[in-house]
Structure 1
């Protein structure tokens, strides 16, 4: 299999203890039978930022161009990439009601990471028993719990 046809399945999630509050993200990367879970967090974040970071970190962890199937429980991330991003970019990072796009820094980073790969987006309902989603949910929550508490 060439790098261009290498298929990687990715499952991502983000968690926040309070919103805003200590946040964590996690991603499971699977290539055949090889799996790797990555996670991280921030002491003061939001759930949406952590959802974005899970996808960003997964794509940035891939060292060569791949076919990537990303499954997320975040409609914000999935719809953002599939529907909203082109409009935001065309409108100078403004929403349809002319307000600045929230999390522009992460959307730009995700767009750059996606550009290196052939990405398909899938959505699963959170906390519905999907084993891989439940696994990254636990890892994201654990990463959030490891963050120092704010003032």
Structure 2
């Protein structure tokens, strides 16, 4: 799994002109699910996201987590995070999970993040043509990949 975390002062998702999810202070998370991802991957990633200290404390240092600042989460599925671009100019998405694998893991991520952060998770619509608007705060953007967890 790959996640792009963007610290935002506001973000929203629209599908066909309708807002499907909207937050103020918090994280816009773009989530890519690979064909070989497991529940271990989403559990590790959800815990990492909930504990990630990327919000400023009183001295302006990144010492606070999403729960410390009562932040919100907008979670967007994004298979293009697994684009392979080595050959040619048209990306291949062969590593991205098909919906029968990705949808249950995406839904489990929503539930797990809600539990870990004690807040409702705002979302887009899986597989839809989504329009995302955001104001990146900082800017702060962090990329997490579950395949990197054993390398540290």
Normalised to the residue count of structure 2, the TM-score between the two structures is 0.32
| Structure that is richer in helix per residue | 1
| Structure that is richer in strand per residue | 2
